[in-house]
Structures are given as C-alpha cells and as structure tokens.
Amino acid sequence: MTQMRFNRILSAGAILAASMVVPHASAQTATISGNLSAFDVVNDTGQPVHGFEIQLEGAQPGDLYYTVFGGRYGTPSVVPYATGVYVRYTSTYNANTGEYMQTTSVNNVPTFAWQDCYQGGAGYSTSGCEHFGQSMRAIPAGRTITVSGRWLAGDTANPGTLIPLNPPVAIPFASWFVAAPTTFAAPPVVVAEVEAPEPPETPEKYGDAQWVKIYRTQLTREVTADELSSLNPAVVPESAAQVEVAWDILQASPPSNGNQNRTRNRNQGSIAVDTRSIIRRYEVYKYTGAYDAVTHQVACADLTCTAPSAGEVGGPLSAQNTATNVTADSLSVVKSGNGTVSGASGKISCGSACGTFATAGSALTLTASPASGVVFGGWSGACSGGQLTCSVTVSGAMSTTASFKSQFTLSIGRSNSGTVTATPAGNDRAIDCPGNCSAKFTDGTAVTLTATPPAGKQFVNWSGGCSGTAPTCVVTITKDTSVQAVFSK
C-alpha cells in the first residue's frame, strides 16, 4: 500500500510536524520535497538593527539544506544549539570605532515597494527592508520544529554583541502537506497552512492582528529558493489574476478559547498532472483598526474582517514567498506531429486529455493513432520502440513522447534504359524501377539510390534531387522529391 508523507513547517510559536498517513487503498497520491522559504521583512522595531535571526527550535543542522543570500549581510552562519539551529545574518563590527558596518534602518519611508527589499532596488538603502530565507528537508515522523524570526540589535551593555528583539517579526512561515485523499479518483490536493505569527502577550488575550493577502501559482518545473524573489514574477505570484485570498485576518487566540479560525489560514487546491511546484506569496500588513477593550480581539468595521475598511490597514510587515516541489504518480503524454494517443482505461485521449494520475505500480496501456497520410515515428521516454501500442508501469511522475511524422513521395525518372533501386524500401512499396518507380518515405529518411545500366551501356549522371556521376547517391526526404537517372544511349 502506498504511503503519503506529511511535511509541515509552521509559523512562529507553531509546530512543524511530519507524519505518515496511509491513504485509501489504490488512491492517487503525491509527495512533496520539504519547504522552500524566502521572505522580505520590514524593520518596524523603532530602532536601527544590524542583522536578523531565524530560529528553528527542534531542528538539526542536517534538516537545513539551503540558506538565502541576505543582501548587505551576505551569507548567513548556521549555528546549532542544544535544542535547535539558528540561521544568523549579522553585521561586522569595528572595535576601533565602535560601529557596526551594516545597518538596516527603521522603515519610515513615505512610499514603499517590495522591490526595495533587494540590493538592486532603487530605494534599498533607506527602505528598512531585507530579504532572507531558508529551505528545509522533509522531517521524519515524531519530531517537531518551531520556526520564528527576529531582528538583531546591538547590545549596549556588551559592545559588538548582537541580541534578538522581541516579539518575533510577523512572518507567516508556511506548512506544506498533502491532504489525505477522499475518493479513489480525486487528484492529489496540496495544502499550505500558516498560523498567526505573533502570539498573545498575556494568556487570556488575543495577539496583535495582521492583514494577509495570498497569491498562488503552480509551475511545470521544480523551483529553488533563489528564485523566490519579489523581483521574479515569472515564478513568484504577484498579479491580480493570481490572488487566492484578497484579504484575511491572522490573529493568535488565547490558548483556552477564542476564534481559532483566525489563528490559522489554510489554503489548498488540486494539482495538475504536470505540476512540479506550487508557490504561494503571503503579504502581511499591520492591522490598524479597533480591538475589543477586554479581549484584544479584532473589531473590524465590516464585522467580518474580509476586507480592510478605511483606516484599518497600515504599512507592510513582511512578504513570505514559499514553495514546495511536488511529485505525483502520473503519466503524461507529449505529442510530436499529427496523430492521437489514447488509453489508460479511457483517461488519456491526446488531443485533449494528455495526462492522468495513477496509482504506483499500475500498468497503463497507450495506443498511438497516426493521422491520414502520417506514419508513427516511435515512442521515447517512459515508452520506447516503434510499435503502436506500449505499456507503462507507473512509478512517480512519468512522461512519454509519441512522434508522428509526415511522409513524402520519392519519384524516379530514367533517361534511356537502365534500372534504379532504393534502400530502404518505402512505407508502401520498394523502388525497383522500371516496375515500381515511386514510393512514400517518412520525413527525414535517408534513401540510397543505385543506378545499374544494361549491358553495353553506361550510367552518365543524376539530376533533380541527386547530382553527380557516381552510380549511387543518397537523398534525404523532406518533401516530395523527383530524381532523374541518365544512362547512355
């Protein structure tokens, strides 16, 4: 029975959990490879800072396989501690002058663009925004990891030492996992979940709220963390057409009760057969509306918190670009040329339906049908050979190409008596002229012609599609072609 791995990386104060779930027998499944995270974060601490720290409580150094280059802070250091790992972006310190060499200013610019979080951005030097990130491997069952991020400021009591600032920054670290299938035929569903990034300051009150806007896309190739940049709209979804959730409120609830729906935001969707990565972007903004005076729960003017009313949305806090790479048990068909491919118990009819999910280990049969006047050129990829029918045993994401090729007529003419033969034979007949002086050949076929004069005569030359005086010539068929063989009288 196929097993499905759940891999979760959750937000600050939440848990990254990996568990094994045994789905319905023969249900269609997918696996995801870890979690890619690259985020833009605004310095709203009220003071200049000199670095940033990602804390992975419960992680081991081997769980972390990639870190994102951090602008003015460069490559981070990975610092294990007794119960976890820090990813630290830090400034150098000049002991002679007592100054840090790199500083992220407070974000107080009148206009802001996410592109200014990068060194190439026009307003980077004064934006008070940086770009950081990390990628995690899939975590074995039974372990938990808590993810949080904090700005680092200079410790006035210990010059040259950086200390983390609390509370953690409002970055929604996403959890990716594959939902357990509900029906036999349903395509796999991949879920992304984030939790309110700022926990309550007191046990029986709600935490500060943030507005979040979510974008989503999926690609037919895998992505890397370096591609998860606001400067890269070809990968990171940022357009209005890619909005998945226009606005929502994230707010941590008291442990004992509260509105748990706002503590967690879960979005999911079916993948396509050719999906190899899913990318989401979470833009987080300050909530500047009213709170309940006792519980500190949001009191949005529209009563539903489905869109900011006037005065309820403030400046930007963070933009999390997160992705997971996906592999599903499936078979995809690519066609080259004019023809159709059908099979897989009616699930593939390509033309239109050129792929299907399948259970691992199942055998799918495909049949190629050339169009009129076209020949089948063969299979490549998961299928091979030139037979019209092939069978594929599915294991992971598989693909095959069916090549259909045009055919053209080669016609032989003779001047005076003599014979002309051709190798190989045509698709419909062999050329042995006189007798059969034309045949159809697949596009791209190299045909060798041999001219043989009768006794007492000589071969003179070729004309048309061949040239020269040698009794043999080779002509490659790419169109209807005529060749004349000239013999002496």
**Computed from CA positions of residues 44, 47, 50, 56, in that sequence, does the dihedral angle turn out positive or negative?**
negative
pLDDT tens profile 187-228: 889 999 998 877 666 778 898 999 999 999 999 999 999 999
pLDDT at 16: 32
Residues 271 and 356 placed together within one structural domain of the fold: no
Residues 299 and 183 placed together within one structural domain of the fold: yes
Mean pLDDT confidence for 325-343: 94
pLDDT tens profile 273-289: 999 999 999 999 999 99
Q: What percent of the chain has pLDDT over 90?
A: 74
Residues 449 and 305 placed together within one structural domain of the fold: no
> In degrees rounded to 5, what are phi and psi of residue 262?
-90, -15
Residues 41 and 106 placed together within one structural domain of the fold: yes
Residues 23 and 151 placed together within one structural domain of the fold: yes
pLDDT tens profile 90-121: 999 999 999 999 999 999 888 899 999 999 88
Residues 342 and 466 placed together within one structural domain of the fold: no
For residue 35, pLDDT beyond 50? yes
* pLDDT category of residue 414 using cuts at 50, 70 and 90: very high
Mean pLDDT confidence for 125-151: 89
Q: Of 357, 379, 406, which residue constitutes the final position of a domain?
A: 406
* pLDDT category of residue 258 using cuts at 50, 70 and 90: low
Residues 340 and 321 placed together within one structural domain of the fold: no
pLDDT tens profile 171-188: 999 988 888 777 666 788
* pLDDT category of residue 9 using cuts at 50, 70 and 90: very low
- Give CA separation, 138 vs 50, 64, 143, 145, in Å: 31, 10, 11, 11
Cβ contacts of 487 within 8 Å, gap of 6 or more: 414, 415, 416, 417, 418, 451, 453, 454, 457, 458, 459, 460
Residues 33 and 13 placed together within one structural domain of the fold: yes
- Count the residues in the chain: 489
For residue 11, pLDDT beyond 60? no
Q: What is the Cβ-side half-sphere exposure of residue 56, based on CA atoms within 13 angstroms?
A: 27
- Spatial contact of 449 and 420, defined as CB atoms under 8 Å apart: yes
Q: What percent of the chain has pLDDT over 70?
A: 92
* pLDDT category of residue 132 using cuts at 50, 70 and 90: very high
Count of structural domains within the chain: 3
- Measured at the alpha carbon of residue 249, what is the angle toward residues 247 and 250, in degrees to the nearest 5? 130
Residues 393 and 449 placed together within one structural domain of the fold: no
Residues 61 and 99 placed together within one structural domain of the fold: yes
263's enclosing H/E stretch is helix 260-263
Question: What does the DSSP 8-state code read for residue 385?
Answer: B
Query: Whole-prediction pTM value?
Result: 0.80
Output 29 or 246, whichever has higher pLDDT.
Answer: 246
pLDDT at 259: 62
Rounded Cα–Cα distance for residues 441 and 408 (Å) = 5
For residue 3, pLDDT beyond 60? no
pLDDT at 184: 65
For residue 8, pLDDT beyond 70? no
Q: Where are the beta strands (DSSP E) in 197-309?
A: 210-219, 243-250, 264-270, 277-287
Place of tokens 């409580």: 57
If phi > 0 it is left, if psi is from -120 to 50 it is alpha, else beta; for residue 297 that is beta
Residues 310 and 347 placed together within one structural domain of the fold: no
* pLDDT category of residue 20 using cuts at 50, 70 and 90: very low
pLDDT at 181: 72
Containing domain of residue 438, as a range? Answer: 407-487
- Spatial contact of 210 and 319, defined as CB atoms under 8 Å apart: no
Cβ contacts of 411 within 8 Å, gap of 6 or more: 437, 438, 480, 481, 482, 483
- Spatial contact of 100 and 154, defined as CB atoms under 8 Å apart: yes
Residue 198 tokens read as 């700022």
Q: Of 381, 406, 431, which residue constitutes the final position of a domain?
A: 406
Question: What does the DSSP 8-state code read for residue 125?
Answer: H
pLDDT tens profile 260-275: 678 888 999 999 999 9
pLDDT at 360: 87
Output 195 or 482, whichever has higher pLDDT.
Answer: 482
For residue 255, pLDDT beyond 80? no
Cβ contacts of 155 within 8 Å, gap of 6 or more: 161, 162, 163
Q: Of 406, 436, 467, which residue constitutes the final position of a domain?
A: 406
pLDDT at 27: 60
**Average model confidence (pLDDT) across the chain:** 89
pLDDT tens profile 149-169: 999 999 999 999 999 999 899
pLDDT at 17: 30
Residues 186 and 253 placed together within one structural domain of the fold: yes
For residue 246, pLDDT beyond 80? yes
